[in-house]
Amino acid sequence: MAVGSLMWNTVTCIVGWAVARFGLFGCTQKIPHDNIMNIIGVVVVCIGGGFFATLKHHPVKVRPAPWQLSTVRCFSATLLTIFTGVLYGNMTTPMCHLVGKTGADEHPQTYTTFFFSFSLGALMMSSIIFMIYSLLVSLYKIYEFSTKYAHSFFRRNRPFINPEITAPSLLAGLMYGTATFLFFFTNQHLDPVKL
């Protein structure tokens, strides 16, 4: 899982850099003060990402491991990791586009202006995904699908939230929200662009 996380973050870094550096998707192009160091940093990230992509896990060979993944599954997992990194790298792109398109007669907008809608969208999407999951599990329980695919996709138990992890989950969400707000705030104020 660590290799996937490192690959995801590498792609996130490269996509975020490309959107800001080249002004993709309607964002304002931001050329850094020291262009050579900027490019060297991106090359180092790419080299590190290449190293992480080639790492292989060598489990202890006590017995045959039926859970070892085939090449097709590893390739599809890598593609999904890259796709997730691209999406996460574009996390601030809509806000960047809106901040750059503020008219002269309007109040200047900042990244922190959009933080509430960003957080509310994340909360609503998580809630919708959980509701769909709960509905699918309930339907599975009602109709008792007997196909192999449905059996492997859905769980047989009911959706359950452990009360012991509710408070830590809420605390982790608040910490993540605070970190995201500070990320937006620093993007707004610590911009290494020539003026």
Among the listed ranges 77-81, 91-95, 161-165, 179-183, which one has the minimum average pLDDT value? 161-165
3-state secondary structure of 23: coil
For 58, list phi and psi in degrees, rounded to 5.
-115, 95
pLDDT-derived band at 102, boundaries 50, 70, 90: low
Cβ pair 145, 154 in contact under 8 A: yes
Please tell me the predicted confidence (pLDDT) of residue 91: 81
Spatial contact of 188 and 111, defined as CB atoms under 8 Å apart: yes
Q: What is the mean pLDDT of the chain?
A: 74
Domain ranges of the chain: 1-92, 110-195
pLDDT at 48: 80
In DSSP terms, 193 is beta-bridged to: 32
H helix runs in the chain, sequence order: 2-22, 35-53, 71-89, 93-100, 115-143, 148-153, 166-189
pLDDT in tens, 42-86: 888 888 877 776 766 666 565 445 456 677 877 888 888 888 888
Interatomic CA distance for residues 123 and 117, integer angstroms: 10
How far is it, in rounded angstroms, from Cα 110 to Cα 113? 5
Query: In sequence order, which residues have a C-beta less than 8 Å from that of residue 80 and are 6 or more positions away?
Result: none
d(CA 38, CA 43): 9
pLDDT, greater one: 117 or 70: 117
Q: At what angle do helices 2-22 and 71-89 cross, to 10 degrees?
A: 40
First to last CA, the chain: 42
